[in-house]
Chains A and B, each alone.
Chain A
Amino acid sequence: MDETNKDQQSSTHKIGIYLWIWGLLFVLSFFSYMVDWYQFQGLLRWSLILFFMFLKAGLIMAFFMHLFWERYALVNVLLWPMTAIACFVVLMVAEGKYTLFTRLFYFFVGG
């Protein structure tokens, strides 16, 4: 443990990169708030929300949480399980649509 950490403490990043990311996060948050302010609807709204969300999440993880500078062994252990979550989302979208369909079907048609 000790021998692995002596070197890494001496190397830090310039303050500029943190301030840049900080500023970018402010701007992106402002933009995603503007999506609601101007009441964009439909596909444009969803794609803009998701775009700003993933960009913000990526910036926080890569630079504030230092993943950009970590070794691939750690980065891949952390990021691959997210694909399981993505699969879960897809499954539940299908399930949600099916539930809605059966509800409407039995409420109004009566089976």
Chain B
Amino acid sequence: MSEQKIADYELKPGFKGMAEDTGSDQTMFKGVHWGKAMMWIFLLSDTFVFSCFLISYMKGRASTPVDWPNTSEVFSLDAFGVPVPLLLIAIMTFVLITSSGTMALAVKYGYEKNKKMCGWLVLLTAIGGLTFVGMQVYEWSKLIHEGVRPWGNPFGAAQFGSFFFMITGFHGFHVSIGVLFLFIYAYKVFAGHYESGKRGWFTTMKGDYVEIEILGLYWHFVDLVWVFIFAFFYLW
């Protein structure tokens, strides 16, 4: 995380340090757990997948001569009889940011070996993610009920539905997988696997609180993608 140290090796800061790390004929990501480096590489590839979706959405929207549906009307929700634009999306955004915050704190308490706080915060994060998926299911069923289909919709350009279901669906799938793993890891924290060093299922790696940080990276990435979807798909 910070202040990495390696025995008998001087780590230099900045670009000079980067040049020496890269050219040292040793491991390149010095002081970084291999699981963390691998998660970052995975997230980088995932970034490309989501970028392709968002870019194809941008291209589809830019090249259609038909008007794009007005998202702030399509995604409005009736609150006490008054239609509020993007209300559900705003709540979903706040829920996801909240769960991202609890995850960041869980990582912090994990490194401090505070088992109880870490476990409860991971569990809270999982519940936040579950709430998000639940609201997304509601949003999908509402739009499907209103007649939005991948091949057309009553609001405007026919491409709207396919991009909407593809992008939010793929993001929702990421959230669902994240929630599943958050529950599993909450159990592992409470069961003390990271203190006893119990091994995981597919690895010879001994259990360690660094796994919570790796899980946290994934979860923050899901939040990060939502920031872009919120901006480009819902607000634009």
Determine whether the beta carbon of B235 is less than 8 Å from that of A61.
no
A32/B230 contact (C-beta < 8 A), A7-B4, A12-B112, A74-B37 known = yes
The CA-CA distance from A83 to B116 in the complex, in Å, is 42
Determine whether the beta carbon of B58 is less than 8 Å from that of A50.
no
Interface residues of B in 24-82 (CB under 8 A from A): 28-34, 37, 40, 44, 47-48, 51, 55-56, 58-65, 72
Given the complex, which residues of A lie within 8 Å of B1, measured CB to CB?
A: 8, 11-13, 66, 69
The CA-CA distance from A71 to B18 in the complex, in Å, is 7
Determine whether the beta carbon of A37 is less than 8 Å from that of B227.
no
Interface residues of A in 1-45 (CB under 8 A from B): 1, 3-5, 7-13, 15, 18-19, 21-22, 25-26, 29, 32-33, 35-37, 39, 45
The CA-CA distance from A99 to B230 in the complex, in Å, is 26
Determine whether the beta carbon of A65 is less than 8 Å from that of B220.
yes
The CA-CA distance from A73 to B4 in the complex, in Å, is 13
Determine whether the beta carbon of A9 is less than 8 Å from that of B18.
no
Min CB distance A8 to B, Å, is 5
Chain A CB count within 10 A is highest, among B63, B210, B217, B228, for: B63
Determine whether the beta carbon of B86 is less than 8 Å from that of A33.
yes
Q: Does B224 contact A (CB under 8 A)?
A: yes
Determine whether the beta carbon of B220 is less than 8 Å from that of A73.
no
User: Contact partner of A73 among B22, B60, B93, CB < 8 A?
Assistant: B22
The CA-CA distance from A85 to B28 in the complex, in Å, is 24
A64/B22 contact (C-beta < 8 A), A12-B111, A72-B17 known = no
Q: Does B5 contact A (CB under 8 A)?
A: yes
Determine whether the beta carbon of B64 is less than 8 Å from that of A100.
yes
Given the complex, which residues of B lie within 8 Å of A3, measured CB to CB?
A: 6-7
A35/B235 contact (C-beta < 8 A), A73-B17, A81-B44, A104-B65 known = yes
Given the complex, which residues of B lie within 8 Å of A49, measured CB to CB?
A: 231, 235-236
Interface residues of B in 59-118 (CB under 8 A from A): 59-65, 72, 85-86, 90, 93-94, 97, 100-101, 103-105, 108, 111-112
The CA-CA distance from A93 to B57 in the complex, in Å, is 11
Interface residues of A in 65-95 (CB under 8 A from B): 65-66, 69-74, 76-78, 81-82, 85, 88-89, 92-93, 95
Determine whether the beta carbon of A89 is less than 8 Å from that of B104.
no
Given the complex, which residues of B lie within 8 Å of A53, measured CB to CB?
A: 227-228, 230-231
Using CB atoms and an 8 Å cutoff, list the residues of chain A in contact with chain B. Answer: 1, 3-5, 7-13, 15, 18-19, 21-22, 25-26, 29, 32-33, 35-37, 39, 45-46, 49-50, 52-53, 56-57, 60-61, 63-66, 69-74, 76-78, 81-82, 85, 88-89, 92-93, 95-97, 99-100, 103-104, 107
> What are 13 pairs between A and B in contact, CB < 8 Å?
A5-B31, A32-B230, A57-B227, A60-B223, A61-B224, A64-B216, A66-B1, A74-B37, A77-B44, A85-B55, A93-B62, A96-B63, A103-B65
Using CB atoms and an 8 Å cutoff, list the residues of chain B in contact with chain A. Answer: 1-7, 11, 13-15, 17-18, 21-22, 28-34, 37, 40, 44, 47-48, 51, 55-56, 58-65, 72, 85-86, 90, 93-94, 97, 100-101, 103-105, 108, 111-112, 208-210, 213, 216-217, 220-221, 223-224, 227-228, 230-231, 234-236
